Structure 1
Amino acid sequence: MLVGVGSTLLWMMFSSLVIILNSSLYRRGFAYPSTVTGVGQLASALFGVFLGRLSDGQRLRPVPPPRVWLRSLLPIAAATAASMYFGNLAYLYLSVSFIQILKAFTPAITLLLCVAARLERLTAPLLVSVTMVAGGIAGAVAVESGAPSFSMLGFLAFMASSLTEAARVVGAELLRDGSRYNTAETLTYVGLPTAALLLLGAAIWELPGMMAATAAGGGSGLALVAADPWVFLAAPAVSALVNMSCFFAINATSSLTFKVAGCVKNVAVVAYGVLVHGEAITTLQVAGYAVSTAGFIMYSHIKMAATKPRPQPHAGGKTE
């Protein structure tokens, strides 16, 4: 229990901190989300290699054959890279608080894609929970859209992030190659190609602008890294700590507990944006977020109950 509580609290702290650190980089003018996420994903993948060597239960099996890479792991890595890129791109245009509110909408998109792919059956309770999530978020977006800080480009970037994240979840089910990868293998065999795709995108689309900004002077581009290198080193390091604490938390707590902790963490980040950066959030947005959060918890509870193994009957027909 102590391991579960401690690791969950650490995960909440580290996952909140990585959001704060990344948004801090963007606020300083380092507007290169593919670079930031690529370096962070590379640190997480290296942690996967370290975990595989450290833990007997997380040993890395031989590298999957090319067929598995091309048909299963690479498409999932591409969806992961797109989700991470668009999610961080949204931070350039939207407030931290508003993005945390929008995050509650991702499960609704995931469920709809699962239903379309015939991986999920839409029951009445699930429909109610998803309607609560969608209705709450729609209300919050309607209020925010009238504010000067609202950016349609940022909103579309976040929706692209949610859609690609849902596609990653669905793709992981449809493209499963029969192997069940442990945490270390997932971080390594999916994380490394994800990092490679993000860093390749950074080299093509962001590096020329970064070098031009550096050459122009004025403390932009790589000059920002030289001026405060610890912030740039801390962000990927914390990304690895997020995965480490997540690994211990998932193994020591229930899925529902972990998801509720994620809701609490998002609320804390919303509060941070309001209190530290003075981001505006209205009463109607708080109400919409509360409705969507309640819907998400209901959704998580229904999903968890559906995956519980049912008691098997004895020969006499009675169950324990």
Structure 2
Amino acid sequence: MGKGGAVSEGVLKKILLSYSYVAIWIFLSFTVIVYNKYILDQKLYNWPFPISLTMIHMSFCASLATVIIKVFKLVEPVSMSRDLYLSSVVPIGALYSLSLWLSNSAYIYLSVSFIQMLKALMPVAVYSIGVLFKKESFKGDTMLNMLSISFGVAIAAYGEAKFDTWGVLLQLGAVAFEATRLVMIQILLTSKGIQLNPITSLYYIAPCCLVFLFVPWIFVEYPLLRDTSSFHFDFVIFGTNSFCAFALNLAVFLLVGKTSALTMNVAGVVKDWLLIAFSWSIIKDTVTPINLFGYGLAFLGVAYYNHSKLQALKAKEAQKKAAQVDEEEGKLLEQREGEGIGEKRDQA
């Protein structure tokens, strides 16, 4: 009884910890999205400079990561040659900067709820780009699933009360660049045995983002900021906003490291529904029945995709365990055969 009770307590503790990681990630992701919307929206804080906001985030995150690695030495940097940095990290940094720039820009034109609906296209983009770069195998049933998600998002877009073409293009561009970045991480880093945690990722990638964002910032936003003499840098607003962005990176690592990437995908769906409800009830964004119907279809498609990924992962793990068992049995058989030969020699 005591032994069984201990096992039950251990399982319960593990479940509670997993839910805690999910809750922390949802809270921080929710906070960063709403906070960015508050800063960028012309009807709220009215600071419509997405490139500048992204650069502030990257400056803060890069500085904090450098202090953690170089000053306090809490995290070991990854051994990386100059050629590897230029060929692998720099392209990923460029894609990340474009993704952040475009996604933050979309908040100026679109509601929080509609942006979350458009983000449902992320599995479609990741799978399509994965097939293009031969990291995913083309399957008819998976492509049909992708088309059902796209169809649901199209219906949600059709029902959007405040549809803005430019905002939609910005968000779709952000999804495309982010999906490409995720695939490139697999090709350029993971395949070479390089694993970056959130601190080392920010340490290496955030400076690249700053460099790539500086060029459009000089031509697009700097002239406007220079002419806006009434603007003063609010350290409380931008400091807390940047800290939330940094904490979100840590929460992603905590969630994926302690549970799985699939858990994060499922948690993302829960977060999206919460954001849609918040956007409708608190921010008073218009959410139409057609919006919800279309997103509901997309949600079912994403749920099926996650389920398929889970089944494939279980099958892969089962196959791996079976291979290990076969290998152990083979070694045991060889050992017994060796012992048998030894015994015969002794008898001779």
TM-score, normalised by the number of residues in structure 1: 0.87
The match for 1:24 is 38
Residues 52/9 of structure 1: CA separation in 2 closer, same or farther (3 Å cut): farther
Residues 253/175 of structure 1: CA separation in 2 closer, same or farther (3 Å cut): closer
The match for 1:194 is 209
1:12 matched to 2:26? The reply is yes
The match for 2:128 is 112
> Can you list the C-alpha shifts for 1:43-64, whole angstroms capped at 9, x where unaligned?
33344445657787x52134x2
Greater C-alpha Rg: 2
The match for 2:221 is 206
Residues 304/188 of structure 1: CA separation in 2 closer, same or farther (3 Å cut): farther
Structure 1, unpaired ranges of 5+: none
- Structure 1 stretches of 4+ moved >6 Å: 53-56
How many aligned residue pairs are there?
303
The match for 1:79 is 95
Q: Sequence identity of aligned pairs in percent?
A: 24
Greater RCO structure (CA 8 Å; 6+ sep): 1
Please say if residues 21 and 235 of structure 1, whose CA atoms lie closer than 8 Å, have aligned partners that are also in contact: yes
- Measure the CA separation in 2 of the matches of 1:270 and 1:262: 12
Deviation at 1:69, TM superposition (A): 2.1
1:41 matched to 2:62? The reply is no
Deviation at 1:133, TM superposition (A): 1.2
Residue among 275, 283, 288 paired with 2:281: 275
User: Aligned ranges for residues 1-320 of structure 1 at < 5 Å?
Assistant: 1=14, 2-27=16-41, 28-49=45-66, 52=69, 58-62=75-79, 64-144=80-160, 147=161, 149-176=162-189, 178-183=192-197, 184-214=199-229, 217=230, 222-223=231-232, 225-226=233-234, 229-307=235-313, 308-309=316-317, 310=319, 311=321, 312=323, 313-314=325-326
Amino acid at match of 1:190: I
Amino acid at match of 1:246: V
Please say if residues 125 and 302 of structure 1, whose CA atoms lie closer than 8 Å, have aligned partners that are also in contact: no
Deviation at 1:232, TM superposition (A): 1.7
Please say if residues 73 and 190 of structure 1, whose CA atoms lie closer than 8 Å, have aligned partners that are also in contact: yes
TM-score, normalised by the number of residues in structure 2: 0.80
- Measure the CA separation in 1 of the matches of 2:163 and 2:137: 35
Residues 304/197 of structure 1: CA separation in 2 closer, same or farther (3 Å cut): farther
Quick check: which one's helix share is greater?
2
- Measure the CA separation in 2 of the matches of 1:39 and 1:167: 24
Name the SS for the 1:92 alignment partner: helix
- Measure the CA separation in 2 of the matches of 1:287 and 1:52: 48
